[in-house]
Amino acid sequence: MRIIPAIDIIEGKCVRLTKGNYDTKKIYNENPVEVAKEFQGAGIQYLHVVDLDGAKASHIVNYKVLEQIAAKTSLKIDFGGGLKSDEDLKIAFESGANQITGGSIAVKNPTVFESWISKFGSVKIILGADCHNEKIAISGWQEESNLEVIPFIQDYQSKGINYVICTDISKDGMLQGPSFDLYERILKKSHEVKLIASGGISTFEELPKLAELGCEGVIIGKAIYENKISLKELEQYIIKK
């Protein structure tokens, strides 16, 4: 299972929110590049970057930060947050993203999202299936749709999606553990999906459990920044693999 730390960006700074609420913003570092370098120093190879300003604005905003992280580390970066147009995608890839995540666009403009899957392939495009009460949430989690998470994933699998990031918003930033039951059901009903668990990770012990379920990756945010999981523990986990 891949270990994927998260860097969420507001105004160029590394922050975390609770349950996606912008009013709960906590700045952890003024310089996301330094944070990314620390991750790389611990043997981590992957990074999840979210442009929270972009998610609100519905277009890419913090691509310069992405550019700097890509230039100064060798981390493989998946980037999301407000990507809505072909131009946004072009900027993200040119700024150094290895993969991009589309969430709201997959709900609001499936034609465009499906064209991205066709053009770039299933290795480059990740489906963001973030949910609240198992209903897909969009627009930086400010809006709830009426789409059920499992059928939503299955529908996009039939259109060529392999990678899916699923965040249970009720768990996000709470440090109370991830949605094991939800992930187990997704993996049982969506065969061969490469599921990346996100939200609620609070202790190192949860990681082997997610791996056992069959998760392809896990995104860890606040647990690292609040020292609930150390980079040393993650480094040893990666080496043991």
d(CA 28, CA 13): 8
232 Cβ contact list (under 8 Å, min separation 6):
42
d(CA 121, CA 93): 13
Residue positions counted in the chain: 241
Catalytic residue (one of 8, 51, 88, 168): 8
Distance from chain centroid for Cα 186: 17
Which residue type does 58 have? Answer: S
Strands of the sheet containing 135-138, edge to edge, are 131-132, 135-138, 143-148
d(CA 46, CA 8): 14
Q: Is 23 a catalytic residue?
A: no
Nearest to 195 by CA among 101, 127, 124, 95: 127
C-alpha atoms less than 13 angstroms from C-alpha of 21 in its C-beta half-sphere: 8
3-class SS of residue 232: helix
Q: How many CB atoms lie within 10 A of CB 120?
A: 14
Catalytic residue (one of 53, 130, 168, 172): 130
Is 127 in contact with 156 (CB distance < 8 Å)? Answer: yes
Nearest to 47 by CA among 72, 78, 70, 71: 78
Q: Is 130 a catalytic residue?
A: yes
Which residues carry out catalysis?
8, 130
